[in-house]
Amino acid sequence: MSTHVKRAFTYRFCPTDAQAAELWRTFGCVRKVYNKALAARTQAWVTRQEVTYRQTSAMLTAWKKTGEPAYLNEVSSVPLQQTLRHLQTAFTHFFGKRARYPRFKSRKKSRRSAEYTTSAFRFRDGALPLAKMTEALDVVWSRPLPEGAKPSTATVSQDAAGRWSVSLLCGDSSVQPLPATGQAVGVDVGLDHLLALSSGEKIANPRHERRDRTRRLAKVQRDLARKARGDGANRRKARLKAAEIHARIADRRRDTLHKITTRLVRENQPIVIEDLTVRNMVTNRKPARAISDAAWSESRSMLEYQAQWYGREVIAVDRWFPSSRLCSACGTLREAMPLNVRTWTCDCATTHDRDVNAANSLLAAGPAVTVCGAGVRPQRSTPDRQSATKLKPSRREP
């Protein structure tokens, strides 16, 4: 099991001017191919025809030979084929009701990335040259790859702050199932505290976005709003400053969540959480910013994939389970409890902290969910990318 765990190791690098130009050209071609293939499949959807991955691959060959996008021959063909596979995966998720309909990539807003497979890069003695490049990337190897690891893909990307990174996907045999532990935990997410555990521990919410917003981000965004709209140099510089602050916020938030979720997975089995629909909750403008800053969805994703790595179990209790109103001592259910009530006393004379009581109630409901489901939704999962491209399209698929 552990030998098949795939992990992505991300490193920063600084490209030369020639490498940066080649990568920017590749990003543009990848976006162009993705959008043209999506347009073809959308048109087929409207006319009730069928377009598969193989057909879009044949279209790519035709685009290279004739017509406007003949410049696609100037870049490596591997990232172009990979973006067609990514589009196929997006449609697989859509027809499986796990995602929305694929959207077109924007030149300004979409993530700039290109994925290379083993036929388009070499990795030897710390050197990483890519196809169509004469020199290897100047990678900052901040941590070693697993011993004997052979990367299967290399994904080069540039974020909104202008930082370049390469992500190497490889098997990690060092990931082993953790020994069994008799300690289980219920986890209740919140805004005043990031997490409340059934053990009584409360993990403070660092509020990374709010702290930087009051200090630096507000000023930079005001400066950006004053710049004339368009592609002017001043507006580009102001946008870059704002993107750097947002990148710093995201890095700190991700680091905090990694440390918390790793500790929970290592110390507990199972971990019981609440199946919240964060996408619907952030439609309320009042708490949306605070919920996004707390990153509830990201913390759940981290818990789930780390539990899968280390042989742990994450149990999600139905979102309608009244964990806050249910007394974890006697089981009495209160009729109503406004959000401003943080402590309450049950008829059994037990005084509860609202969040800790909710975590204890979730922990008590966990075994019932495991045995009979208890209205819980299926665990979210991401199908294997390679197998997804081999799936036969349904009759509804374009």
Q: Measured at the alpha carbon of residue 244, what is the angle toward residues 206 and 17, in degrees to the nearest 5?
A: 145
Residue 151: Cβ-neighbour burial (10 angstroms; 0-12, 13-18, 19+): buried
Is residue 265 within a helix (H) or strand (E), and if so which, with residue range? Answer: helix 233-267
Place of tokens 């209790």: 317
The answer to whether 308 and 265 have CB atoms below 8 angstroms apart is no
Among 365, 359, 327, 331, CA closest to 344: 327
Residue 188 annotated to the active site:
yes
Residue 355 annotated to the active site:
yes
Catalytic residue among 274, 275, 293, 397, which?
Answer: 274
The answer to whether 235 and 229 have CB atoms below 8 angstroms apart is yes
Catalytic residue among 172, 188, 304, 397, which?
Answer: 188
Residue 97 region by backbone torsions, left for phi larger than 0, else alpha for psi between -120 and 50, else beta = left
- Sheet of 164-171: strands edge to edge? 112-117, 153-158, 164-171, 6-13, 139-140
Give the integer Cα–Cα distance in Å for 346 and 281.
29
Residue 186 forms beta bridges with which residues? 272
Catalytic residue among 172, 209, 304, 355, which?
Answer: 355
Catalytic residues: 188, 274, 355
